[in-house]
Amino acid sequence: MPDTKIDIALVGKFDGKNYHQWKFQMCCALRAKGLFEIVKGIEGKPLATGDVQKKWIKEDAYAMFLLTSTMDYSQITLIENCQSSKQIMDKLDAIYEQKTEMNKMLAHGRFSQYKMNSNNSIAYCKG
């Protein structure tokens, strides 16, 4: 694990409303700490016992600590039964990522109702 001095306190607390911003910051921090592959499940728990498995367990526990340290208690209650950092991220993704058909339909409905303010130019709307 790289010994980088990343101040996790600089990551904004996840309060249930800022998931995408929090997730982006956490992914950056986890990459810098060399833990991103564990959290994403790219580097799964080794089947071999011994030092390799102990190292993975320690790094996963550290990733869990980093994730939960940047979460409001109201959000921690949603993931308290998770046993790994990957389970935490998978559960949060399932709750907050807008990938379901219902969310797509709601977004399409909101988009269809979008109206340009008469005070704004088209350049403002293009963003």
pLDDT digits (tens, 9 = 90+) for 54-97: 999 999 999 999 999 999 999 999 999 999 999 999 999 999 88
B/e letters for 85-107, b = 16+ CB within 10 Å, e = fewer, are: bbbbbbebeeebeeeeeeeeeee
- The model's confidence at residue 119, banded by pLDDT at 50, 70 and 90, is confident
Q: Is residue 26 part of a domain?
A: yes
Q: Is residue 78 part of a domain?
A: yes
- C-alpha–C-alpha distance, residues 8 and 57, integer Å: 20
Report pLDDT for 37: 96
- Owning domain of residue 37: 15-112
Q: Is residue 44 part of a domain?
A: yes
Report pLDDT for 79: 96
B/e letters for 45-74, b = 16+ CB within 10 Å, e = fewer, are: eeeeeeeeeeebeebbebbbebbbebbeee
- Is the pLDDT confidence value at 8 over 90? no
- C-alpha–C-alpha distance, residues 109 and 70, integer Å: 33
Q: Is residue 125 part of a domain?
A: no
- Is the pLDDT confidence value at 12 over 60? yes
Q: Is residue 118 part of a domain?
A: no
- C-alpha–C-alpha distance, residues 118 and 4, integer Å: 50
The continuous run of DSSP H or E covering 60 comes out as helix 51-69
Which is nearest to 30 in space by CA: 45, 52, 8? 8
Question: How many domains does the chain divide into?
Answer: 1
Q: Is residue 124 part of a domain?
A: no
- The model's confidence at residue 99, banded by pLDDT at 50, 70 and 90, is low
Q: Is residue 65 part of a domain?
A: yes
Mean pLDDT of the chain: 85
- Please report, for residues 109, 111, 115, 121, 122, the alpha-carbon distance to residue 118 in angstroms, rounded to integers and kept in the order given: 21, 17, 9, 8, 10
Q: What is the pTM of this model?
A: 0.72
Q: Is residue 122 part of a domain?
A: no
